[in-house]
Structure 1
Amino acid sequence: MKFSLIAAVVLLALAHGSFAKDATDLGKLSAYFEEIKAKLTGDLSQVLSNPDLSSQAQTFLDDNKKMLEPLAAQVQDQLKSVAATMDDKLGPLAESMQEQVQPMIVDLQRKVEDLFRRITEEAKAIGQ
C-alpha cells in the first residue's frame, strides 16, 4: 500500500512538471505570435505611410487610364454599330408585327364597343 501511494505521488509530480513545462511552452508561443503581430503591424503601417507608394499608385492609375481610354472608345463605337444593325433588323420585324396585330386590336375594340352598347341598352330596358 505504501508503495502504491509513493508511486501515485511520484506520478502526480511528474505529471505536474510536464504540465508546467507545457504551460511555459504555451507562454513562449503566445509571446512569439505577439511579436509577429507587432512586427507585421509596424511593417504594414510603414509601407502605407510611404509617400512614394502613393505617388507610384497614382502613376499606375494614370498610365492605365491612358491605355484604357482608346479601348473604351473602340468598344463604344462597336456598341453603336451593333445597336444600329439591330435597329435595322428589328425595325421591319416590329412593323410586320404592328401590321399583324393592328387588325386584332381593331376587332377587339369593336367587340368591346358592341358589348358596352348592349349592356347600356339592356340597362335602359330594365330601367324603363
Structure 2
Amino acid sequence: MLACSLFSVAPSLCHSRAKRRIPDLFLCRSMSMKPHHAFALAIVLWYLMIPPIGLDNKIDPHAPLSNWRIGVGFQSQKECDDSLKDAIQNPMTPAEYQAAAKATQKAKMKPLTMSEMTKRTAESLCVAGDDPRLKAKAKSALPK
C-alpha cells in the first residue's frame, strides 16, 4: 500500500494487486515515471564516505564531499552510523595497520601514519545516496 500513497496510484488498483501479491510499483502504468526509476527513489542507500588525502599525505575533511571516497554501502542510516561508531571505538591494531601500510606501499602509494588513519576514520561520514553533494562527483566522472 505504501506504493499507492507514494506514487498516487488509484487505491482500487492497489487493493486488487495486493491480493495477488504483485508489487504496485512495477505494474502501475499511470505513473509519470518509469517503474524502475520509482523503485530507485524508494530505496535510499547510505554510504560511509571517507575524506580524501591531500598532497601533504594528510586527510582533508574540508574537501567537497564529491571528492571523498565512497566506502561501504548500507541499507539504512542506522547500519551506517553503527558501523562507523564501531570503527571509531575499535581502531586498527598495530598489526592491522602494518598490513594496511604494506598493501598501500605495494600499490606504490605512501601510507598514512597511524594517527592520520585514526583521524580519517573519525572524520568519515554517513551520507544518503541521494545527497545532492554527491552529484558533483557523478557529473565530473562523465567523459567530455
**Smaller-chain TM-score bracket:** under 0.3
* Greater share of helix: 1
- Give the alignment's TM-score, normalised by structure 2: 0.16
Q: Which has the higher strand share?
A: 2
Larger Rg: 1
TM-score, length-scaled by structure 1: 0.18
